[in-house]
């Protein structure tokens, strides 16, 4: 400290004043600024997560046996495999895994490739995918998206979320899952209705969210990135078996003593 005082002794008063003012506006330089607050994270979330892992250890939920990761032909060329992953995701919206899986099996028996789907008329495609939810709209989306993949991507699917969500019938959840499954890349958290519902029940969001995309943003603000890929699989199966949309099975849940929503059901 003594050497600093000596070093400034010859500086004119006006210069010294200017320097002290500039220092006063820098955070943490003796201006009384508080240290940055610790990042927000939900109460008990690590224990809740471990208990959900325990409840999901048997891997016997519909998503485990008939989810999108089980719907494509793993022996197909990579480009065909990725296309099948995307189609399975498009079919899965508003549709139970069992129905999606059955529709994918029928499509694969017809030869599920970009060229085959482009040659297929809409009526035939509709008959094959029925009764998936909103099947008429999905027929149009599948035909439009497949044509774009052929023209713009050489028959492959895009490798970024930004490009995937530009495809007809492909939303953010599908795009993130496509990145996970088809490209083995984690660009974000895939949030469907199960993840959205459970995140709000556990209060894994700072304030209640109304839409899955809001929940995705809220989760990504605090959840460690190495958990992003796992969280969809964990919570979807948990939502299918225990934390049901209506009449959740709280009495069977290992988190019932630390779940903010348990007492309401």
Residue (of 178, 154, 180, 184) closest to 166 by Cα position: 178
Residue (of 124, 128, 98) closest to 240 by Cα position: 98
Burial of residue 195 (number of CB atoms within 10 Å: 0-12, 13-18, 19+): buried
Token pair of 14 as six digits: 């006006």
Catalytic residue among 173, 203, 206, 229: 173
Measured CA to CA, the distance from residue 86 to residue 99 in angstroms comes to: 16
150 catalytic? Reply is no
> Which sequence positions are flagged as catalytic?
173
């Amino acid at each position: 400290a003594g050497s600093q005082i000596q070093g400034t002794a010859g500086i004119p008063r006006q210069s010294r004043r200017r320097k002290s003012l500039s220092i006063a506006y820098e955070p943490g330089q003796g201006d009384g600024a508080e240290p940055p607050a610790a990042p927000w994270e939900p109460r008990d979330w690590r224990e809740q997560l471990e208990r959900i892992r325990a409840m999901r250890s048997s891997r016997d939920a519909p998503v485990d046996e008939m989810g999108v990761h089980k719907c494509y032909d793993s022996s197909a060329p990579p480009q065909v495999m990725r296309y099948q992953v995307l189609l399975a995701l498009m079919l899965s919206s508003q549709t139970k895994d069992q129905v999606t899986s059955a529709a994918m099996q029928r499509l694969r028996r017809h030869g599920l490739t970009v060229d085959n789907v482009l040659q297929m008329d809409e009526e035939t495609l509709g008959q094959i995918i029925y009764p998936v939810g909103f099947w008429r709209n999905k027929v149009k989306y599948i035909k439009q998206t497949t044509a774009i993949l052929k023209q713009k991507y050489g028959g492959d699917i895009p490798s970024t979320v930004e490009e995937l969500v530009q495809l007809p019938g492909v939303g953010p959840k599908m795009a993130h899952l496509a990145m996970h499954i088809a490209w083995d890349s984690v660009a974000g958290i895939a949030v469907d209705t199960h993840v959205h519902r459970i995140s709000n029940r556990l209060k894994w969001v700072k304030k209640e969210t109304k839409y899955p995309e809001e929940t995705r943003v809220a989760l990504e603000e605090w959840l460690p990135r190495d958990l992003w890929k796992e969280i969809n699989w964990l919570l979807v199966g948990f939502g299918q078996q225990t934390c049901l949309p209506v009449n959740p099975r709280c009495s069977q849940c290992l988190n019932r003593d630390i779940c903010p929503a348990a007492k309401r059901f």
